[in-house]
Copies of this chain bind each other. A is one copy, B any other.
Amino acid sequence: MAIVGQEKMKTALILAVINPALGGVLIRGEKGTAKSTAVRAMVELLPSQETVEGCVYSCDPFSPERWCDDCAAKYGKKTGDKRIIPIKNRRRPLIELPIGATEDRLLGSLNLEKAMTAGESVFEPGLLAQANRGILYVDEVNLLDDFLVDVLLDAAAMGRNFVEREGISVSHPALFTLIGTMNPEEGELRPQLLDRFGLCVEVKGLGDPKLREEVVKERLLFEENPEKYVFERSGKEKELGHRIEEAAERLPKVELTDLALTEAVNISLKLGVDGHRGDLTVIKTAMTLSAWKNKKIDTEMVVEAAELALPHRMRRKPFQDVDFNVKARLAEAEAG
């Protein structure tokens, strides 16, 4: 379904898909602001991808440096290897973490059945394995157990899932775009967890009656006949998916200018953002924007990146919630 309005959220989602290394997106907003709908609509944008057939982690046949142990064992570690790798094309997966999913289901667990029958410990991959090279979506992430959020963010940061539990000591690739939504009325994330989300955007109910009517119409169209709706939109979306794919290809070639770097660090300093993770995310976001817009990096892009990467990292004033007005804060800092 089309997302009406909400430009910042759309940009953040697109950038996070182009560059999973940004560390995910946290979408904050009041109830009923179509956060979940927007995320689900993202799936339809995703270009398909090639995977090693038969691999439970859906390894990328062309990135042997990220292969799982099984692929590495089967197809050799060097790129030049002559073995034939079976390839499968698939839709990029959207894994939704159900709010009651257990730790076992998320991380993977011992396959008890096989353990009993065959007498060997077999690792049963979990949702993090399924999410490899796709999107992992957590609705109401602030209600998730702190420990699970931590595990998610660890895996998102490292692109790997490490499991150290009774009888299991394994790791596997888990490179995914993490998307969380939350309603801050229902409780905040711990600062340490907040900071580890790459980007953070706020969605508000639209104020413009025309846009709101459009939202309702789109939704009704969709509900009336989802298949037809999807089919008709797929043209436009394929185009968007195509643009995302191209941007992802351009990304490794984006060049960072010293000016942009200086600007990014200056902004962080002005806003009182202490950690280096802020600086780094602003720069990486600006570079992804550059790939997306297919333009050289410039000061404006750095500011746009800062608006996505710094709100949840700025020091809060007492009794104040996360402040998304990055530009105002910047102006204030420059003035005062």
Number of this chain's copies in the complex: 6
Q: Interface code A261-274, partner B: CB below 8 Å = 1, 0 otherwise? A: 11011101100011
Known A-B contacts A100-B151, A192-B140; A276 and B209 likewise in contact (beta carbons under 8 Å): no
Task: Return the CB mask of A195-227 against B: 1 if under 8 Å, else 0.
Answer: 110000000111101001101110110011001
Q: Does A185 contact B (CB under 8 A)?
A: yes
Q: Could you tell me if A204 and B279 are in contact, using CB atoms closer than 8 angstroms? A: no
**Which residues of B lie under 8 Å from residue A192 when comparing CB positions?**
31, 140, 183, 185-186
Check: A96 CB closer than 8 A to any chain B CB.
yes
Contact across chains for A219 and B165 when beta carbons are under 8 A apart: no
Nearest B residue to A209 via CB reads B265
Interface residues of chain A: helix, strand, loop or mixed (majority): helix
- Provide the bound-state CA to CA distance between A296 and B151, in Å: 47
Q: Is the CB of B204 within 8 A of A99?
A: no
Instruction: Establish whether residues B195 and A190, one from each chain, have CB atoms under 8 Å apart when the complex forms.
Output: no
Q: Which residues of A (226-282) have their CB < 8 Å from a CB of B?
A: 227, 252, 256, 258, 261-262, 264-266, 268-269, 273-280
29 contacts between A and B (CB under 8 A): A21-B223, A30-B274, A30-B275, A32-B273, A33-B276, A34-B275, A34-B276, A34-B277, A99-B147, A99-B151, A99-B154, A100-B103, A102-B166, A113-B119, A127-B164, A185-B191, A205-B273, A205-B275, A209-B262, A209-B265, A209-B269, A213-B258, A213-B262, A216-B261, A216-B264, A216-B279, A216-B280, A216-B283, A220-B280
